[in-house]
Amino acid sequence: MMAISMGKSTRRSLLAMSLPVYLLLYAPLLLIAIFSFAPPPLAKGQTFYWYADLLHSPEVIAAFRRSLTLAIGSSILGTALGTLMGFGLYRYRDRNATGIASALPSLIIYTPIIMPSLVFGISELIFFSFIHSATGFLAAGLLTMGIAHVTFEAPFVALVVFARLSGLDPNMFEASHDLYADARQSFLHLTVPVIRPAIIGGFLLAFTLSIDDFTISFFTAGPGSTTLPIYIYSAVARKGVSPDINALATLMIATVIGTGLLQYMFTRNRARKLVARPGD
């Protein structure tokens, strides 16, 4: 009975400590959503006026299309490159290595992830400016933004894929070779089906990172390549925070949360199937 009582006391203490943290994290997001339902001028009550107003704004529609195009395109390419990167780091690592050599795969994956976005964006700006001044190619615009997004999305996908592969039995690959499968057949018919949940989860993660990125997009954008985060920043700089900006931010928050929930549900359902069918 005392152990149960202590357990309840511990849970209550942890809950009391965690509630202020969650409040600090999510209260601003909740306030944005509440203020987005503000009434139109000279009116009262909560309405969807500002959401409807967004549908009639050519600038918002254009920025939304660019953000969606950028997110989908960069996520597809970033997922493909990240999958190959994660597979290569797993398949060709030296399991007997020690010291720096043993940590090299982790360093390759984690370095772009832990690098500050500001430093990453400035380095991309300098790189694209140098290439453009030397060759005339890669002028600032949607293409440079897409390349920059792929470079910071691929390591996240590689991390997810690498973690999935690390949990597999290495003998599976040897067994496929014993069955006369070459490297291409083994990758397409064994590796890809096994890591498919990680690939899908990596794509959703890359899409989430791209759709709400501001810093890297800001440094690599050019004329006519304004995305939603950049549009929100410029609108706030011009006229301050307004109900239409709150509505737009709420839609972006809902998109990110929805994508995250979709990734969580997919991963959870897959884990349940694996528990129900261990041999799958």
Q: Are 220 and 148 in contact (CB under 8 A)?
A: yes
Per-10-residue mean pLDDT, the chain, length 280: 57 83 87 86 78 87 91 94 88 65 70 84 92 88 92 91 81 72 77 85 90 90 87 86 86 84 73 55
pTM for the complete prediction? Answer: 0.79
For residue 80, the model assigns a pLDDT of 94
Separation between Cα atoms, residue 22 and residue 60, nearest integer Å = 31
DSSP assignments along 88-102, one per residue: HHHHT--TT--THHH
Count Cβ atoms below 10 Å from residue 245 Cβ, excluding itself.
21
For residue 194, the model assigns a pLDDT of 83
Helix axes 192-211, 58-91, angle to 10 degrees: 140
- CATH level 3 topology of 43-268: MetI-like fold (1.10.3720)
Report the phi/psi class of residue 43: left, alpha or beta, with left for phi > 0 and alpha for psi in -120 to 50: beta
For residue 190, the model assigns a pLDDT of 80
For residue 280, the model assigns a pLDDT of 47
Separation between Cα atoms, residue 247 and residue 171, nearest integer Å = 53
What letter would DSSP give residue 187?
I
For residue 188, the model assigns a pLDDT of 78
